[in-house]
A and B are shown apart, each in its own frame.
Chain A
Amino acid sequence: MNVDALMMAFSAVFTPYNVLVICGGTILGIFIGAMPGMSSVMGLSIMLPFTFQLKGYASIMMLLGIFCGSIYGGSISATLMNTPGTAASAATCMDAYPMAVIKRQPGRALAISTFSSLCGGLFSCVVLVFGATALAKVALNFTSPEYFALAFFGISIITGVSGKSIVKGLMGGILGLLFATVGVDNFTGTARFTFGSSFMRGGLAMVPILIGVFAFAQALKTIEEKYNEKPFKEKVVIERVLPMKEDLKRIGPTVLRSAILGTFIGAVPGTGGDIASWVGYNEAKRWSKHKEEFGHGAPEGIAGSEAANNAIAGGAFVPLLALGIPGDAGTAVMLGALTMMGIVSGPLLFVESPEQAYTIFIGLFVANVLMGVFGFLMIRIFGKVINIPNKYLVPVIVTFCITGTFALNRYLEEVFLMLIMGVIGYFLIKLEFSMPPIILGLVLGTLAEKNARRGLDILAGTDSVWDHPIAIIFVILGIISLVSPAISAMMKKRKEAKAGGSEG
């Protein structure tokens, strides 16, 4: 470990300005996550343009705060309203809501969820420090074929985030890759798919597309589905904000197990908090001595899902920082932010700018600590905030979409692009297309094309495919990642058919 770089990172993070910015980002993230319908990706997308106005590392610090805060925030509405703020909090509803509402112990449920989230997040940060560096050492030998194979591996996770149809997920991924080809070609200077527009020559900016397909499309969906929604009326009484000793004893092993699982799942590109939380919940149930309590307010159930879904934060940063591959849609936005900040994530980050990598580690650690502190402090007021009706929430989201997009490059054309992409995204969602593949294609498109073309020329020369074992490994992993969801879906169908047959 480079001690000088670590000290530089400490001094970069622990300035009053940066700590204040992380605090702001974390609080904002918690509120974003707590609002049903607003995901961490949406929060990051909306706030991304704003953060570029901040000085130095402050923009990254704010995004880290939002990232951590929003993952945790999703559990609040899940606990109090049985409405997961984010997909990753769906498993939390299973036991947190019965404890909070049926057992009338909302403070206890929120305290367990906050404590578990804090532990999961901190554990994954520690793993990040060691895991990312080890991966970076391996990745140092990368040339164009390896980079292309890596991009292919990144793109291959599309099938895992395809939603209902893998074919449509792959189509979405290709659309994203095609969006990335718009503009002047880096090698030849040829204008591609620009339709004579000078705005298009610079390529399609990523952020307006991100905001369009995630936030604006979601706003349109909310208008369609919840146009006449009545405000929530449940009154919640918060009686305690810190976990009890008995609960801590009971959930300790579950928290550790879920933190390990969540970190590992987070480090595998294409997975995310939603998968991690269900795996964590299932394992908590499998190992529990009180299985009968699950579904009726078991503390292990809350701890199992929350520790796992917060542990993905650190886990997802391992491939992001060490290899430049976003593990999920949230880290895809983070990758975009890092690139725009001039921080090139990948193996060279640890060699050329270790202080930047350590700054991100420490920032994430601090964001997790603050997430816990604010989580406990704000438990009493959460109940009131999440009751904002959609008729007020949607105009706020649309306003942030518009002003946020404009703030990025100050081009009105980008606002129009965001609105158009939002409408396209809305119809694609209606036709059961999943949005993350499009974003993954867009984010990894340039890297994939550049290195595919370079790689082809290298392989046409003196090099053979067998001179690049790392590339071969990534291609094999990519193929496995590409086909495994389809195979597991087929196996599940067969099992169901068998079960149906035996019942009949």
Chain B
Amino acid sequence: MDESDRYSACARNVEEKQPGIVANTSMSGCFQYYLEVDDCMKKYNYIVSILMMVLSGYILFETGTYEIGQSAQKNPAVWPRFLAVALIILSVVLIVQTIFSHNPEMESFSIDWKGTGMRKVYIMFGLTIGFVVVLKVLGMLIALLLLIPAIEWLLGCRSKVMMIALPVGLVVFVYVFFGIIMKLTLPGPFWA
């Protein structure tokens, strides 16, 4: 599909869904709209189906290496293989369903991977990885003491009092409840 085809496809979409925009739609603006429409649930359904098929393929491959006995009870591969085949069938069903679907919800669905909310989630992923590293080195309580205010900050908290009081309060609660009442040995710093 070259750009003029894209433009006409896009213009059709715009005309059908947002008539008011047509008059002001430039070639580049329309192409942008086309890309946005393209980022719909259909694309994600295809990706999910392919990933599930890859997973099923791996299961079939690994179970092929198992030693198999005569009966079902002596066959550790029978159940995972059955599930893998079912997953392949469902993936095909999802692809077919997606191709023939005229559900407007599926067309209008999009994920804003670059939006502020998603960026906050990416930061949270980073905080989680950082937490795991700090947990291994400095232990549970110190890691929580750093993670809690970081999440508060991420969610828009700028109150210094709350950014100190909540982590301290929660860590004291964790220490008292788990460490003292439950007698649980929490992971400590590497030097302890």
A residues contacting B by CB (< 8 A) are 50, 53, 164-165, 167-168, 170-171, 174, 177-178, 181, 185, 187-188, 190, 192-193, 220, 223-229, 390-392, 394-396, 398-399, 402-403, 406-407, 410, 412, 415-416, 419, 423, 426, 430-432, 449, 452-454, 456-457, 460
Is B12 interfacial (CB 8 A cutoff)?
no
Contact of B3 with A by CB under 8 A: no
Chain B residues closer than 8 Å to A406, beta-carbon distance:
140, 184, 186-187
- Docked pose: A45 CA to B35 CA in angstroms: 40
Interface residues of B (CB under 8 A from A): 41, 44, 48, 52, 59, 62-63, 66-67, 69, 71-76, 78-80, 83, 86-87, 90-91, 93-94, 97, 105, 109, 111, 116-118, 120-121, 124-125, 128, 131-132, 135-136, 140, 144, 147-149, 151-152, 154-157, 162, 166-167, 170, 174, 177-178, 182, 184-187
Whether B80 pairs with A192 at a CB distance below 8 angstroms is yes
Do residues A171 and B73 form an inter-chain contact, with CB atoms below 8 A? no
- A430 engages B116 (CB within 8 Å): no
* Residues in B whose Cβ lies below 8 Å from that of A392: 152, 157, 162, 166
Q: Is the CB of B73 within 8 A of A187?
A: yes
Q: Is the CB of A395 within 8 A of B151?
A: yes
Q: Which residue of B lies closest to A392 (CB)?
A: B166
Q: Out of B67, B69, B155, B186, name the residue touching A390 (CB < 8 Å).
A: B155
Complex: how many Å from CA A398 to CA B170?
11
Instruction: Give the distance in Å from the alpha carbon of A185 to the alpha carbon of B78 in the complex.
Output: 12
Contact for B155 among A53, A394, A416, CB less than 8 A:
A394
User: Which residues of B sit under 8 angstroms from A407, Cβ to Cβ?
Assistant: 178, 182, 184
Interface pairs (17), CB distance under 8 Å:
A168-B94, A170-B86, A174-B90, A188-B74, A192-B62, A192-B66, A223-B151, A224-B121, A228-B155, A403-B186, A406-B186, A406-B187, A407-B184, A416-B132, A431-B41, A431-B44, A456-B71
What is the minimal beta-carbon distance from B70 to any residue of chain A, in angstroms?
Answer: 10
Closest to A182 in B: B80
A224 close to B120 (CB less than 8 A): yes
**A227, B117: Cβ atoms closer than 8 Å:** yes
Given contacts A225-B117, A457-B71, contact A174 B66 (CB under 8 A): no
Q: Which residues of A contact B140 (CB under 8 A)?
A: 402-403, 406
User: From residue B20, how far is it (CB to closest CB) to chain A in Å?
Assistant: 24
The number of residue pairs between A and B whose CB atoms lie closer than 8 Å in the complex comes to 158
Q: A233 to B109, alpha carbons, bound, how many Å? A: 33
Min Cβ gap A312→B in Å is: 29
Query: For chain A, what secondary structure do more than half of its interface residues adopt (helix, strand, loop), or is it mixed?
Result: helix
| A193 lies within 8 A of B72 (CB) | no
With A227-B117, A391-B155, A460-B71 as given contacts, are A412 and B187 in contact (CB-CB < 8 Å)?
yes
Nearest B residue to A493 by beta-carbon distance? Answer: B103
**Contacts of A193 on B, CB cut-off 8 Å?**
59, 62, 80
Chain A residue nearest to B169 in the complex (CB): A396
Chain A residues positioned under 8 Å from B71 (CB to CB): 456-457, 460
Main secondary structure of the interface of B (DSSP, over half): helix
CB distance from B168 to the nearest CB of A (A): 12
Question: Inside 8 A of A225's CB, which chain B residues have their CB?
Answer: 117
Instruction: Give CA–CA (A398, B121) in the complex, Å.
Output: 14
Give Cα A178 to B41, complex, Å.
25
B76 touches A399 (CB 8 A): no
A457 x B151 contact (CB < 8 A): no
B166 is contacted by which of A165, A188, A395, A415 (Cβ under 8 Å)? A395
- Residues of B within 8 Å of A164, CB to CB, are 105
Separation of A138 and B20 alpha carbons in the complex (Å): 66
Contacts A168-B48, A403-B178 aside, 11 further interface pairs with beta carbons under 8 A come to: A171-B48, A185-B76, A223-B151, A399-B170, A402-B131, A403-B186, A407-B184, A430-B111, A431-B48, A454-B72, A457-B72
Task: Note all chain B residues with C-beta closer than 8 A to A174.
Answer: 83, 86-87, 90
Query: When the two chains form their complex, are residues B135 and A167 in contact, meaning their CB atoms are under 8 A apart?
Result: no
Q: Determine the chain B residues whose CB is within 8 A of the CB of A419 once the complex forms.
A: 128, 132
Decide yes or no: A190 and B66 within 8 Å by CB, A412-B187, A453-B73, A457-B73 being known contacts.
yes
In the complex, which residue of chain A has the Cβ closest to the Cβ of B148? A395
Considering only CB atoms, which chain A residue lies closest to B167 in the complex?
A: A395
| Beta-carbon nearest neighbor of A222 in chain B | B155
In contact, A171 and B52 (Cβ under 8 angstroms): yes
Instruction: Report the minimum CB–CB distance from B155 to chain A (whole Å).
Output: 4
Q: Could you tell me the distance in whole angstroms from the C-beta of B80 to the nearest C-beta in chain A?
A: 5
Given the interface pairs A178-B83, A223-B124, A392-B162, the reply to whether A53 lies near B72 with Cβ below 8 Å is no
Residues of B within 8 A of A402 (CB): 131, 140, 144
